[in-house]
Chain A
Amino acid sequence: MIGVVLTSCIYDNYSPPSVQFSGRIVYQGEPVNVKSSSGHDVNNANVYFYLYEPGWQKSNMPIRVVVNQDGSFSSLLFSADYKMVIPAGVGPYITSTDTTEISISSNKTMDINVTPYYMVRNPGYTMSGGLVTAAFSIEKIITGAQAQDIQAVYLYINRLLITDDSNNIAFTELDGSSITDMNNMIMQVRMPDLSTLGLGISTDQKTIFARIGIQINNVNNMLYSPVQEITIN
């Protein structure tokens, strides 16, 4: 009797998804950095794309693959043929086709090519006397009818690796209309006294993290530069 029960259990269960699908959102091989979705369940992520698995009952139900702040993603899946959909209006980029068919039978690494509105180029950070200086340039990638202007550029600093418009201890804002030379941008932000932030945790640290973010007109998600760790000086 017990044997029968156990046997039927084996028949009833599927093995868990085990195939890893990973990669990066890239433009010409360079990852596109976005806002982190840490702390969110997948349904409330900031930047993501969909995988649909056609052919079964709930084929209409998407798997959301969340894009990390460095543009990478990874998802554990069943082996199957998927349709990948990059939803319009999500992410600071556009794609040439919204649907791509991909077959996943074993661990797969794949970069997804997108066209961002802008890219932050050659960011360099220095810190002296508590003042963080960022020097960088901005390249406008999308021109013509689909082009969008810059609403504002931000320089963020944070105590932790996750750094963006929600996660920062200080930032400066430069209005898009005040940009004079996109090839020669300099922004500065002063690090606040960590002990006054009321964070309730140790303020004894040697480095902080800095990042540049671009808010683009009529685009929901901001575009970021890679997070850079800098020594407190």
Chain B
Amino acid sequence: MKNTFQIVGLLLFSLFMSCNDSNFLDVKPYNILTVDETFSDAGTVNSVLADLYDRMPRYEDLDNDGSFCMWDNTMVSVAGDFWRVQFQDYDYGFYNADWYGTYAYIRDLNLFRERLTASTGLKEDDKVGFLAEGRFLLAWVYFDMTKRYGGVPLILESLTYDYSGDPTPLQYPRASEAQMYDYIIGQCDSISDILPNNPSEKSRATRGAALALEARAAIYAASIKKYSPLRTPTEICSPDKGEVGMTQSTRSANDYYTIALNAAKAIIQGGGYSLYNKKPDLEDNFASLFTDKNNNPEMILVRDYLLKYKTHGWTQQNQPYSQTEDLDGGWMNPALNLAQSFEKLDNTMAPFNVGDPNNPLLYDNPQDLFTGRDARFGGTLIYPGASFKGKQVDIWAGLRKPDGTIITGSIDNAFQTVDNVYMQVIGKDGPQDGREHATQTGFLVRKYLDPVIGSGTRGLRSDVWWVYFRYAEILMIAAEASYELGDNVSAANYINILRQRAGFTINLQPSDITFDRIVHENRVEFAFEDHYFWDMKRWRLAHVVWNGANISQAPDPANIEAPSTKIFGLWPYKVYNPGQTDDGKYCFIQKLPSVVTNAHNFRIGSYYARIDDGIIAQNPKLTKNPNQ
């Protein structure tokens, strides 16, 4: 044994001795690209960039059904998500970012820009374009952080630890919220001149995308500057630093509104975008806007998917259960609260006309209740009697006798014998109280739902894209900024373009434009597009609308400040009255799904997400957000 060691040792030793060619081990690997190699070829830089685009943070997300269900837009018919309609107070940090992951991303973006700058092998044109894309992504990620936390450490170079035992050089304090917005606006403004003005490029940063981000950031900054002192004056971290609340901004709210308006106008005039208007059926048109990838003139920036390679489960999870292509369906159950926010075509807002619960109005077909509404209603939601993929959904909760008694069953056992006749007693899509994978509110989601055969299977899934920016938002920002700057004529012009696409024939007059209108229009146009929550937050309406009040019915859609703390449903019933004229007609009854057990309460302290104690412990220069 001992000898063996000695022999092996000797052999090894001799091996080292024999290597007197110093380059002997210096073999160039064939499977690893060095940094220099990567950044000397436009093709490999594109690969790096693809990864960076893929990591763009967002809150609502097509692969995260629960992210849509924290407020009064929709609930999820999945037991693991029922807590989202059962908690009372929102946690302070419920919309936290992945802090470490995000700063790792920021570091990668900084490295990307530094390595590009140092690179010598690239054509100058390519390099300038790539750099601008890197700056766009950095502006995007800082905007995402600012939406959540207010000011965060604004780190614009890659940091490297020197192992000295002293982490102080890596510890940055929070910038003020105003600095964050000014940085984002400034970056977007300068790269908008560099990036290509190419409306057919949807999944990479273009001039349109940069201007859109500038407009959105500016309208957020403006509304926080304006509404925070009015509605949440106590949201202050440290008075002299302005980490939250835009107190330190040198610009006024009107300055920011003007920036937003100008950026929006730069897209509207000569941007090459327009509203999607390809289909004659307006509901269908609004739904197709999200699924049609072929020369879609409305999309400015999207997160794209591709069958076989990068897909999501939205259609598989949310397809109507009655026509499921797999085992899933009916996850997302939009709320009556949202459904009745869609206006009537005479420009008024009203709940659905269902009559008295004890003596409900009767309709021949379930869809008759919903006629004469904004086309975005049917484009965003699937309602009782609506069709998907040419097939009518089956949404009704049971049979209702004239005396009000209900005969119903379960979706898995929908046929029963009633008065010696074997008949269906509940729709195959529900609503069935408490049942997973079927509607519990009477509505299903249509936005992003892929009509392609096979998109509802777990094997194929869907490649419908996720929208970061579309032209409609630009019009809405222009309308809001114009209104806030006192120009109701322009505001009405912008908003009417959107409303005409939704089927409104009577234009709003300048005198009709109010703050409430703007709030309302945003909600119905951009439902499920990661706008609603951030809008409610920037307008400081979140604590007003989600105020913990124990409401007993869905809120009045005409009142944007009406508490909307619980999700309600609207259940259709088929009248059971054999031999009579009303037999087989439909009536509707408002229903609080039994899984909805608590009223949401958004505390003032929730306006800025919580920075974890552990993060602050590692960097004492960080300050806590207020009331946390």
Contact = CB atoms under 8 A, between A and B. Distances in A.
Interface of A: 39-40, 43-44, 46, 58-62, 87, 89-90, 165-166, 168-169, 198, 218-220
Contacts of A60: 616-617, 620
A62 B624 CA distance: 11
B91 A166 contact: no
Interface string B611-625: 001101100100010
B92 A220 contact: no
Given A218-B234, A219-B234, A61 B92 contact: no
Interface string B590-628: 001000000101011100001001101100100010111
Interface residues of B, number: 26
B127 to A, nearest CB: 42
Contacts of A169: 550
Contact of A61 (B233, B604, B617): B617
Contacts of A198: 592
A39 B548 CA distance: 14
B218 to A, nearest CB: 28
B548 A218 contact: no
The interface centre, meaning the residue of B548, B599, B620 with most chain A CB atoms within 10 A of its CB, is B548
Given A44-B91, A46-B603, A166-B548, A90 B627 contact: yes
Contact of A168 (B91, B550, B604, B614): B550
A165 B547 CA distance: 9
B603 A220 contact: yes
Contacts of A90: 627
Nearest to A59: B617
B592 to A, nearest CB: 8
Contact of A39 (B88, B550, B617): B88
A61 B616 contact: yes
A61 B626 contact: no
Nearest to B547: A165
Given A166-B88, A219-B234, A89 B627 contact: yes
A58 to B, nearest CB: 5
The interface centre, meaning the residue of B92, B93, B616, B628 with most chain A CB atoms within 10 A of its CB, is B628
Contacts of B605: 220
Contact of B610 (A43, A62, A219): A43
A89 B234 contact: yes
B89 interface: yes
A219 to B, nearest CB: 7
B349 interface: no
29 contacts: A40-B89, A43-B91, A43-B92, A43-B610, A43-B613, A44-B89, A44-B91, A46-B603, A58-B614, A58-B617, A60-B617, A61-B614, A61-B616, A61-B617, A62-B613, A89-B234, A89-B236, A89-B627, A166-B88, A166-B548, A169-B550, A198-B592, A218-B233, A219-B234, A220-B234, A220-B603, A220-B604, A220-B605, A220-B627
A198 B566 CA distance: 14
Contacts of A166: 88-89, 548, 599, 601
* 7 closest A-B pairs by CB: A60-B617, A61-B617, A166-B548, A220-B604, A44-B91, A58-B617, A61-B613
Contacts of B93: 43-44
Contacts of B613: 43, 61-62
A196 to B, nearest CB: 9
B317 to A, nearest CB: 29
Interface string B214-255: 000000000000000000011010000000000000000000
Interface in B532-576: 548, 550
A61 B614 CA distance: 7
Contacts of B627: 87, 89-90, 220
Nearest to A58: B617
A168 B550 CA distance: 8
Contacts of B592: 198
Contacts of A61: 613-614, 616-617
A167 to B, nearest CB: 8
B82 to A, nearest CB: 15
A169 B549 CA distance: 10
A60 B620 CA distance: 7
A61 B548 CA distance: 31
Interface string B85-97: 0001101110000
Nearest to B618: A60
Nearest to B599: A166
A194 B616 CA distance: 47
Contacts of B236: 89
Contacts of B624: 87
A168 B88 CA distance: 12
A87 B599 CA distance: 28
A58 B616 CA distance: 10
A175 to B, nearest CB: 15
Contacts of A89: 234, 236, 626-627
The interface centre, meaning the residue of A39, A43, A165, A168 with most chain B CB atoms within 10 A of its CB, is A43
A46 B626 CA distance: 12
B548 A165 contact: yes
Contacts of B88: 39, 166
Contacts of B603: 46, 220
Contacts of A87: 624, 627
Contacts of B92: 43-44
B552 to A, nearest CB: 9
A198 B236 CA distance: 40
B452 to A, nearest CB: 43
A102 to B, nearest CB: 20
A60 B624 CA distance: 12
A220 B592 CA distance: 30
A169 B327 CA distance: 41
A218 B613 CA distance: 26
A89 B628 CA distance: 9
A71 B616 CA distance: 28
Contacts of B614: 58, 61
Given A87-B624, A89-B626, A166-B601, 8 more contacts: A46-B603, A58-B617, A60-B616, A60-B620, A87-B627, A166-B599, A220-B234, A220-B605
B222 to A, nearest CB: 23
A198 B605 CA distance: 30
Contacts of A218: 233-234
A43 B599 CA distance: 20
A46 B606 CA distance: 11
Nearest to A196: B552
B569 to A, nearest CB: 14
A40 B613 CA distance: 17
B610 to A, nearest CB: 7
A197 B561 CA distance: 24
Nearest to A48: B628
B170 to A, nearest CB: 15
A87 to B, nearest CB: 8
Nearest to B612: A43
A8 B172 CA distance: 40
A166 B599 CA distance: 8
The interface centre, meaning the residue of A39, A87, A166 with most chain B CB atoms within 10 A of its CB, is A166
A40 B236 CA distance: 23
Contacts of B601: 166
